Amino acid sequence: MREFYPKKGRVILHVDMNSFYASVEMAYDSTLKGKPLAIAGNVEERRGIIITCSYEARKYGVKTTMPIWEAKKLCPKLILMKPNFDRYRASSLAMFEILRQYSDLVEPVSIDEGYVDITDSYHLGSPLEIAETIQKRLIEQLDLPCSIGIAPNKFLAKMASDMKKPMGITILRKRDVPNVLWPLATHEMHGVGKKTAEKLQSIGIETVGDLAKANEVQLKVLLGINGIRIKERANGVDTRLVDPDSVSDFKSIGNSTTLPKDTTNQQELFRVLDHLAETVSVRMKRKKVVATTIGITIRFKDRKTITRSKKVENPFFLKEEIFSYAKRLFLKHWNGDPIRLLGITSTDLTDHEHAVKQLDLFSYEKEAKKEPLIQTVARLKEKFGKNIIEQASEKEIQKNQAGTFTSFNRDFLQ
């Protein structure tokens, strides 16, 4: 099968699960198949939006992020279900386990998509045969449909997987770029959002082809280094490797919530911050990291949004510390107007074991009292292994991992 693989270069698959949450529910309950199904938040609250929906629901115009009331108006027979993260996590892990049987180079991007470098998997068949086998196994073993892009790099593989849904397989070579990608509007290109597309339009760039031929100096002035990067993508150039370890490369941990109603009630806002602090702390403990910068996000009734952050002297991860820092930031920057959304983010993350705490005159005595215990634990770990002793909070986290991740983060892989 070597003749189907390039002598130089890579062969990369992008596997994208189709309507993942809805498909998992249909696999679990076959009576849902063929019906308009949507996974959504609480119908009674304003935050209730469509997270994902089946293709039967999409025929009625139902879309992701659409408010529930609007979706029900378009499709009165729409079946609404709350997300079951335990179920999705299990299906995701099973899906990636299948992908790893075809290559060691599997890079999860989110709960329902990932890249697979099959350059050295020629003994398993041609790239198309491998893609067909993966798609068939995901259906037969998990009852989950997917679309797969086959290309020489990650960008083209991602673009290819979006071209035929559901259950499509698309090959996109670099020589196909002028005919296939260049006629597309810039907002249809992976990596170009709505705001970026609007900026590009302001200088006369309407299509991917326009972007591919654009002036680099002009792009850099408009978009910075990202301007050069997306021009390279528009020409089919992407040198990023499939990196199985990239899932652990995270720079921040945060959480936000839209309030049931706009409010100026300070105690209610403090309760929200307290809950957010707990969620962020749990995720930090699970990842065994500490942070040195705390940030908050405030969105007001008029949708104006501000983010503020502060570097602190000592690394933190406890809920009480996170809440205290966030509360101080909040009080400093809240102008008293009604608030629609609050968020807390911890950044500048460091592995817990490698964090160095800068002791001051006030914390030294308290920390010094802990030193004999710390040394004893260190000796035990050195003798019997680092997992011989764990915090009770870590055990509790292991029992309660479900329900704290979405398709927009990578907690499910930790």
Q: Is the pTM of this model over 0.75?
A: no
Q: Pick the residue with more confidence: 314 or 403?
A: 314
- Helices 127-142, 85-99: crossing angle, 10 deg rounding: 150
**How do residues 189-241 score in pLDDT, each as one tens digit?**
999 988 999 999 999 999 999 999 999 999 999 999 899 999 999 999 999 99
- Report pLDDT for 44: 58
Dihedral of alpha carbons 307, 310, 316, 320, sign: negative
- Report pLDDT for 7: 86
- Report pLDDT for 378: 54
- Report pLDDT for 359: 41
- Report pLDDT for 9: 93
- Report pLDDT for 168: 97
- Report pLDDT for 49: 86
Active site residue 232: no
Give the range among 25-34, 313-322, 333-342 with minimum mean pLDDT. 313-322
- Is pLDDT of 399 > 80? no
Are 89 and 75 in contact by the 8 Å Cβ rule? The answer is no
- Is pLDDT of 369 > 60? no
Average pLDDT over the chain reads 85
State the catalytic residue, choosing from 25, 56, 107, 113: 113
Q: Pick the residue with more confidence: 217 or 395?
A: 217
- Report pLDDT for 13: 98
**How do residues 101-125 score in pLDDT, each as one tens digit?**
999 999 988 889 999 999 999 999 9
In single-letter form, the type of residue at position 178 comes to: P
- Report pLDDT for 118: 97
- Report pLDDT for 347: 85
Domains defined along the chain, listed by start: 2-18+86-175 (3.30.70.270), 21-84 (3.40.1170.60), 177-234 (1.10.150.20), 250-358 (3.30.1490.100), 360-405 (no CATH)
| 143 annotated as ligand-binding | no
Q: How many whole angstroms separate alpha carbon 158 and alpha carbon 255?
A: 27
- Report pLDDT for 396: 46
- Report pLDDT for 400: 42
Q: How many whole angstroms separate alpha carbon 355 and alpha carbon 326?
A: 21
Mean of the pLDDT values across residues 342-369?
60
**How do residues 300-312 score in pLDDT, each as one tens digit?**
988 888 889 998 8
The SS3 of residue 200 is helix
- Report pLDDT for 372: 55
Give the range among 52-66, 328-342, 394-408 with minimum mean pLDDT. 394-408
Closest CA to 83 of 37, 32, 21: 21
Q: Is 111 left (phi over 0), alpha (psi -120 to 50) or beta?
A: alpha
Q: How many whole angstroms separate alpha carbon 407 and alpha carbon 409?
A: 6
Q: How many whole angstroms separate alpha carbon 405 and alpha carbon 413?
A: 10
Mean of the pLDDT values across residues 400-405?
38
Q: Are strands 79-81 and 37-40 parallel, antiparallel or unpaired?
A: parallel
**How do residues 236-287 score in pLDDT, each as one tens digit?**
999 999 988 766 555 678 888 889 899 999 999 999 999 999 999 998 888 7
- Report pLDDT for 287: 78
Closest CA to 115 of 102, 106, 125, 103: 106
- Report pLDDT for 175: 96
Terminal-residue alpha carbon distance, the chain: 36
| 29 annotated as ligand-binding | no
- Is pLDDT of 38 > 80? yes
**Confidence category of residue 345, pLDDT binned at 50, 70, 90:** very high
**How do residues 140-195 score in pLDDT, each as one tens digit?**
999 999 999 999 999 999 999 999 999 999 999 999 999 999 999 999 999 998 89
Mean of the pLDDT values across residues 35-47?
75
Report CA-CA distances (Å) from 237 to 185, 233, 268. Answer: 18, 5, 50
- Is pLDDT of 408 > 90? no
